[in-house]
Structure 1
Amino acid sequence: MQMSQEVLGQFRRKRLLIAAVVAALVLILTLTFRFVEEKNRIEQQSHSFANNAIQRFDRMFSPLDVAADNALAWVGTDCGLIRFKLIEKLAVLQTVRSILLVDNDRIYCSSIFGPSDLAFSNNYPELLVKNQRMQLAVDEHLLKGSPILLLWTPRNEDNRAGVLQVINIELMTSYLLEPTLPWVERAILNVGSQSLEYGNPLIEPATPAEDQVTIVESSLRYPYSITLFGPSPSRLALMTVPSQLPLALLLSLLMGYIVWLATANRMSLSWQISYGITAREFMVYCQPLINAHNGQCDGIEMLLRWHNPRQGWIPPDVFIPLAERQNLIAPLTRFVISETVRHLPDLPMRSSFHIAINVAASHFRERAIIDDLQRLWWPANPQPQLVVELTERDSLPVVDQRVVSHLHKVGVKLAIDDFGTGHSSLSYLKTLSPDVLKIDKVFTAAIGTDAINATVTDMVISLAQQLNIGLVAEGVETAEQAEYLRERGVDALQGYYYARPMPLGDFPAWLANHKAFCPA
């Protein structure tokens, strides 16, 4: 019983370990998935912020392009004639501070100050570079010291004539670049090598802090870009993990419980038995039965052994009772019968040689044992005497007595195994009419050491002799025990003193080596 509980405990611990591992993996994977998902969401939010800002800036610059294209027709016209038209455009273009007309590299007209005469190339040399249409600068005339954006629209490729718009870029950035916490902490407009950061009126290069990451998106229509500084998406995502822990923990516990239930069969010993039958993990062993009077080997008892590759050797007293409870004992018995039939040519071919097979009480129901013998045993025309050993772990129903009677009629002997240890009842001796009683090894081991059990042994021997029932003593390990049983008239002896259980295929060699002791 202790061994059985230990093996079953091993299966439960394995099931628990698997369920715990799955639960831990689900917890880790869930938190990892939520972390990656949140990280991607934060990154997407940052890129969306930059792209939206670029789209809004492009929409703000688009009407300025149209206004500049219209004003190109005025380039070269006397400033006094077109100044008021320039002022009218300023009223429409609310983000533009002033409009300057350039002709022959001279700024000759300003919407604010009227006629002027300034060298364009000296004042704005960067705009003379081919395709350089924008420049961040500081206002030196109207709102001195404030940042402005110069939008240059040339009339021809030599960049010596065109329209220059002075844009109130500080107003635009304060409206379009307001950071969105927590993923955007700083937002910067970049034109060439110059930068204007939201909330900072100075035009100067912007650098991120040590713990900030940088995201840059560029406009496809205008020569500017948007730079965002903010905390690492991984750090922000990691901060959300604690809030995800309860749900992830609940999901992991649920999956662990599902795995625990799902492995109830697969990780149970009963499932292992079913699988072991299919995978032929079971092996048939045998142990010789020695005639107590002449020392000859009169027969063998078939024993089932199980080597589970996942658990190692599992004792019969562990898997046999469980197989009986799970209705798996009949397939195991059929396997034993089939293997015995397969080895019949190697066994002594005489009727005085006994082959004992253990059969559970449940196998007697609905004539199952008779059907199996008719299908597996009798077609082989066996010469040895078949003995069915009935275990006492279960009580036989009354209806099964017909099966017992049928076995007697066809010449099968019936033995009661482990007599005196299970559901022993003297009524069995009357209703079953057994041919043999097998004295359990507990009583054999008590010989010479335990007076009470030795007395029980003597009583069983006396009872069997009075009823003319054969006796087999199990568990004989010493010469003293063998002599004690022999003197009291026990018919056959079985135990380590004569031979340990061996694979059925090894029995012929054992028998040949012991002819002098146990002649065939």
Structure 2
Amino acid sequence: MLMAQQFVGQFRRKRLLIALVIAAIVLILTLAFRFIEEKSRIEQRALNFADNAIMRFDRMFSPLDVSANNTLGLVGVSCSDVRFPLIEKIAASQTVRAILLVENDTIYCSSIYGPRDIPFSQNYPELAINNQRMMLSTDNFLLKGSPVLLLWTPKNIDNHSGILQVINIELMSNYLLEPQLPWVERAILNVNGDSLEYGNPLIEPTVPSEDEVSYNEASLRYPFSITLYGPSPTRLALATLPSQLPLALLLSLLMGYIVWLATANRMSLSWQISYGITANEFMVYCQPLINAKTGECDGIELLLRWHNARQGWIAPDVFIPLAERQNLIAPLTRFVLNQVVAHLPILPRCPSFHIAINVAASHFRNRAIVEDLQHLWWPANPVPKLVVELTERDALPVVDQSVISQLHEIGVRLAIDDFGTGHSSLSYLKDLKPDVLKIDKIFTAAIGTDAINATVTDMVISLAQRLNISLVAEGVETAEQAAYLRERGVDHLQGYYYARPMPLGDFPAWLEHHQSDIEA
């Protein structure tokens, strides 16, 4: 029973291990999912910021573009005639600092300074020669040193005439590019390779620091782009994980508990045994019973072996007690009966040959063993005698002892297995009237070594002989033990000295070899 409890403990430990592994996996996956989700959210917020900034700049440039196109008709008109309309346009706009008119590659009129005579291509080759529509520059006239954006609207394809708007880009960039911490720390407006960063009045190249990442989005309508610098989304997402830990831990514990409950059946021995029967994992072995007087084999005891595909070989001392506790011993007994019936054609067809099968006390309840024999054993018309060995792991209730008389009536002999080690008592001999007593191997092993147990062995032999009950000694492993038991009149011997348990199908070959050894 101790081994059975250890086996159950192994199942529980495996269940616990599986539950803990699943819980750990769920915890890791939950945190990983939240990390990826948070990282994606941070990246998306940065991109949304860039998209919104581009959309706002586009909205700012669009009316200026329309206004410039509507004003192209003023190009070529004398500066004194158009200056005040230009001033009115600037007054209506909060973003335009000045409007310059260009005619024949010359800036001839300024809304602020009036008539001018400035070469256009020489001062702004990017616009006049490189056909650019925008450029970042520095105001050298009104607010010297302040950044401005030049928006060029040509009148014709030669780029020598048109309207040049000077936009107060510093004011607009400080309004439209205000960073959103923590995911956007720096925002930059880029125009043709020049950059203007929020909060920095200088037009100069920008690069991210070592721990920053960059995002870049370009306008589809105007030749500018927005670059954002901010902390690594990975670092920001990792910083949020401690706040996600309680929920992830709760979810992992819940999943672990669900797995613990879900594996209660599948990871139980009852499920394993039931599955083992249907999957043909059980095998019926047999061990010969040797006549102590003649040395011939005149019977076998059927033994059940289990090779579990998941656990390997499981000893009978482990699964038999557990099967009895789980009320699964009866299906196993029926499995043994079916197997021996299938092998009857290869077994000796002799009335003196007997086949012993172990039956638990619980199988006697409600005449279950009798009904199973009537449905499985007797329809095969067996010639060998059947011996039912009553195992003593459970005490046989008095109410079920009436089944014993029914077994005797139908020609089944009764044996008490492992006599003296379980619940058996002298009252068993009186109430059950067994035909056979089996001496447990612990008493056989004591022969020649343990005086006390050897004395008990002699007392059991003497008692059985006085009650005219046949004796079978289990666990005979040496010639000394066999001689000792033979001298004291034990009827049958069983043990490794004669043969180890073997598959039932191998028994005919062993029997033939044994008979030839006796005859020789």
Instruction: Please confirm whether the aligned pair reaches a TM-score higher than 0.5, indicating the same fold.
Output: yes
CA contact (8 A) 2:4 2:322 kept: no
Q: CA deviation at 1:18?
A: 2.2
Counterparts of 2:111 and 2:370, CA distance in 1: 118
* TM-score, length basis structure 1: 0.96
Counterparts of 1:239 and 1:139, CA distance in 2: 44
User: Which residue in the other structure is 1:302 paired with?
Assistant: 302
How many corresponding residue pairs?
A: 519
Q: How does 1:341-360 map to 2 (within 5 A)?
A: 341-360=341-360
Alignment RMSD (CA, Å): 1.7
User: Which residue in the other structure is 2:465 paired with?
Assistant: 465
User: Which residue in the other structure is 1:376 paired with?
Assistant: 376
CA contact (8 A) 1:296 1:517 kept: no
CA contact (8 A) 2:121 2:129 kept: no
Q: How does 1:312-461 map to 2 (within 5 A)?
A: 312-461=312-461
CA contact (8 A) 1:295 1:517 kept: no
User: Which residue in the other structure is 1:230 paired with?
Assistant: 230
User: Which residue in the other structure is 1:287 paired with?
Assistant: 287
Q: How does 1:109-148 map to 2 (within 5 A)?
A: 109-129=109-129, 131-148=131-148
- The amino acid across from 2:98 in the alignment is S
Q: CA deviation at 1:59?
A: 1.0
CA contact (8 A) 1:297 1:518 kept: no
Counterparts of 1:63 and 1:480, CA distance in 2: 117
Q: CA deviation at 1:334?
A: 1.1
User: Which residue in the other structure is 1:62 paired with?
Assistant: 62
Counterparts of 1:516 and 1:434, CA distance in 2: 34
Counterparts of 2:452 and 2:518, CA distance in 1: 33
What per-residue deviation string (whole Å, max 9, x for no partner) do you get for residues 108-158 of structure 1?
Answer: 221111122222222222112465211100001100010000111112222
Q: CA deviation at 1:456?
A: 2.2
CA contact (8 A) 1:511 1:518 kept: no
CA contact (8 A) 1:102 1:164 kept: yes
What per-residue deviation string (whole Å, max 9, x for no partner) do you get for residues 201-257 of structure 1?
Answer: 111111122222121101111110001111221222122223323332332233223
Counterparts of 1:517 and 1:106, CA distance in 2: 129
Moved more, 246-255 or 161-170: 246-255
What is the SS of the residue equivalent to 1:514? helix
User: Which residue in the other structure is 1:174 paired with?
Assistant: 174
Counterparts of 1:162 and 1:480, CA distance in 2: 126
What is the SS of the residue equivalent to 1:449? coil
Q: CA deviation at 1:481?
A: 2.0
User: Which residue in the other structure is 2:198 paired with?
Assistant: 198
Q: CA deviation at 1:362?
A: 1.4
Moved more, 472-481 or 13-22: 13-22
User: Which residue in the other structure is 1:239 paired with?
Assistant: 239
- The amino acid across from 2:482 in the alignment is A
Counterparts of 1:179 and 1:280, CA distance in 2: 71
User: Which residue in the other structure is 1:35 paired with?
Assistant: 35
Counterparts of 1:479 and 1:185, CA distance in 2: 93
Q: CA deviation at 1:516?
A: 4.8
What is the SS of the residue equivalent to 1:452? helix
1:215 aligns with 2:228: no
* TM-score, length basis structure 2: 0.96
Counterparts of 2:405 and 2:346, CA distance in 1: 31
Q: CA deviation at 1:518?
A: 5.5
Q: CA deviation at 1:366?
A: 2.1
Q: CA deviation at 1:29?
A: 1.4
Counterparts of 1:193 and 1:490, CA distance in 2: 109
What is the SS of the residue equivalent to 2:389? strand
User: Which residue in the other structure is 2:3 paired with?
Assistant: 3
What is the SS of the residue equivalent to 2:26? helix
Q: CA deviation at 1:504?
A: 0.9
What is the SS of the residue equivalent to 2:349? coil
CA contact (8 A) 1:295 1:518 kept: yes
Q: Which runs of 5+ in 2 are unaligned?
A: none
Moved more, 133-142 or 358-367: 358-367
Counterparts of 1:209 and 1:376, CA distance in 2: 85
Q: CA deviation at 1:286?
A: 0.6
Moved more, 65-74 or 341-350: 65-74
CA contact (8 A) 1:107 1:117 kept: yes
Identity percentage over the alignment? 78
Counterparts of 2:41 and 2:343, CA distance in 1: 71
